Chains A and B, each alone.
Chain A
Amino acid sequence: MFSSIFNKLSVVFRTMDVRMLVFVLMLVLFVIGAGAPGATGLNIGN
């Protein structure tokens, strides 16, 4: 089971551009740092 998961992951990483991953990660971090959404997921007996 684990070997099949690892095989699939290795295929994904072979076909994916690492620079693209870094770019998306940078964008996610930018959004975390610059954005200020509040009360996310607020749920009080609602």
Chain B
Amino acid sequence: MILTLAIIIGLIATLVRSRLTNRTLTLPKFRLEWLVFVSVIPQVLTFYIPIVGQRIPEAVVPVIQFITMLGLLVFCAFNFFQPGVWLLGLGLVSNFLVIFLNGGWMPILPETLHRMVPTQPIEIWEVGARLGLTKDKIFTYEDVNLVFLIDRFTLPEWIPYKVAFSLGDIFISIGVVVLLWSLSRKQEE
């Protein structure tokens, strides 16, 4: 949700800025754009299309994660000097590292889940289980590598939508806003 929100905020902000300053939105010249499309398709199938995701064995999911994120890392490396891309890359590296060092899964703690759903006892969260068809698996604190990079942040309780996100997701969100904001900058900048 924070990632989608970042895109919406960035788009609105840059559109308003371009309208107020009478500037035309200018797209950055990316290299290897196609790599993003090709890399992410397996993830879309695995995590966002349940009828496909359910048929993919859990043992294969970490491999899909690894390969697709590697493709995105190459894209970031080739476009490092475009506005905001270093932040996107930083977020991607953070998520990649923590996923890679935890067996191909993004760890989430039972404590985090309990914070999100306090009405349920913490025992319902079975350690080692995958959380639905997401990238997350439930780990104990002791078993996690790089605990500061896992999905440990949650939204305030008064927001009905529940989601846990990582430091990497925060970097990516800021990078998205910076990149979109740069579309309406002066040509000389």
- Count of A residues near B, CB < 8 Å? 27
Instruction: Judge whether B162 and A32 touch: CB under 8 Å.
Output: no
Residues of B135-185 whose CB lies within 8 A of A: 135-136, 151, 161-166, 168-169, 172, 176, 179-180
Closest CB in chain B relative to A21 CB, distance in Å: 11
Closest A residue, CB atoms, query B27: A23
How many residue-residue contacts, CB under 8 A, span A and B? 128
Q: Which residues of B contact A32 (CB under 8 A)?
A: 3, 40, 43-44, 47-48
Closest CB in chain A relative to B63 CB, distance in Å: 15
Please give the residue numbers on chain A whose beta carbons come within 8 Å of chain B beta carbons, in ascending order.
Answer: 17, 19-20, 22-24, 26-46
Closest CB in chain B relative to A35 CB, distance in Å: 5
Size category, B interface: 35 or more
Instruction: Judge whether A45 and B119 touch: CB under 8 Å.
Output: yes
A and B contact pairs by CB, cutoff 8 A, 19 listed: A27-B179, A31-B176, A32-B43, A32-B44, A33-B71, A34-B168, A35-B3, A37-B151, A37-B163, A38-B131, A38-B165, A39-B131, A39-B136, A40-B1, A40-B134, A41-B163, A42-B163, A45-B119, A46-B119
Q: Which residues of A contact B47 (CB under 8 A)?
A: 32
